[in-house]
């Protein structure tokens, strides 16, 4: 049965965050709020956690998972960026964007695209998400919680806790989740591509 943690949106209680971190570090799968809806997350290297996300969302093996980071410096350890890409991403983070780039050797192999060896990365602009990442001390392997048949992310933590009670281990809720998915910007080819238009303004990446 999933544990439900209701925290303050401006000052998430450290005790609750510590309990969620303990669940993550024990191999658990958690739901947490971001600036683009709720997300499913597990620790790096938790391949079983990714399989559980695939099962919940009915994803195939070509799905791009996202490494959710707390800082730009942290993000830069896991993806390859030239100077132009570096500046473009730095100027747009934190925010409701997911960037798809070639992975470095530090990126978790379990979450890489099986053919392209690419990975999605992002830095959320959300107090509770950032507080969880800081308490954990490392990025989360994540996917937006869009259930099969839906087109937008889940936005009510208590409903999620009831619907996924036996599929996740914890739901962290601060009552201020963003609405709508991220904008996905693909930097893996010579031309920058907008793979999905979401809540992040795509115009900085369009020619």
End-to-end CA gap in the chain: 48
Radius of gyration of the chain (CA): 16
Q: Which of 131, 101, 114 is nearest to 195 (CA)?
A: 101
Q: Which stretch of DSSP H or E encloses residue 18?
A: helix 14-25
- Is 64 within 8 Å of 196 (Cβ atoms)? no
pLDDT in tens, the chain (207 residues): 899 999 999 999 999 999 999 999 999 999 999 999 999 999 998 999 999 999 999 998 778 899 999 999 999 999 999 999 999 999 999 999 999 999 999 999 888 877 788 999 999 999 999 999 999 999 999 999 998 988 888 889 999 999 999 999 999 999 999 888 899 999 988 788 999 998 999 999 886
Sign of the CA dihedral running 5, 70, 107, 60: positive
Q: What CATH superfamily is the domain 3-199?
A: DHBP synthase (3.90.870.10)
How many Å apart are CA 85 and CA 42, to the nearest integer?
27
């Amino acid at each position: 049965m999933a544990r439900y943690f209701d925290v303050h949106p401006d000052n998430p209680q450290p005790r609750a965050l510590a309990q969620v971190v303990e669940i993550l570090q024990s191999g658990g799968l958690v739901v947490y709020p971001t600036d683009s809806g709720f997300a499913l997350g597990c620790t790096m290297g938790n391949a079983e956690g990714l399989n559980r996300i695939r099962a919940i969302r009915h994803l195939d093996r070509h799905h791009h998972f996202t490494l959710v980071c707390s800082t730009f410096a942290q993000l830069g350890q896991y993806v390859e960026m030239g100077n132009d890409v570096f500046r473009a991403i730095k100027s747009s983070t934190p925010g409701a964007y997911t960037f798809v780039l070639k992975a470095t050797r530090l990126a978790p192999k379990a979450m890489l695209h099986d053919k392209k060896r690419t990975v999605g990365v992002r830095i959320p602009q959300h107090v509770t998400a950032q507080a969880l990442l800081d308490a954990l001390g490392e990025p989360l392997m994540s996917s937006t919680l869009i259930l099969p048949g839906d087109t937008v992310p889940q936005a009510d933590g208590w409903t999620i806790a009831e619907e996924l009670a036996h599929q996740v281990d914890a739901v962290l809720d601060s009552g201020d989740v963003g609405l709508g998915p991220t904008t996905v910007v693909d930097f893996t080819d010579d031309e920058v591509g907008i793979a999905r238009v979401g809540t992040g303004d795509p115009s900085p990446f369009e020619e």
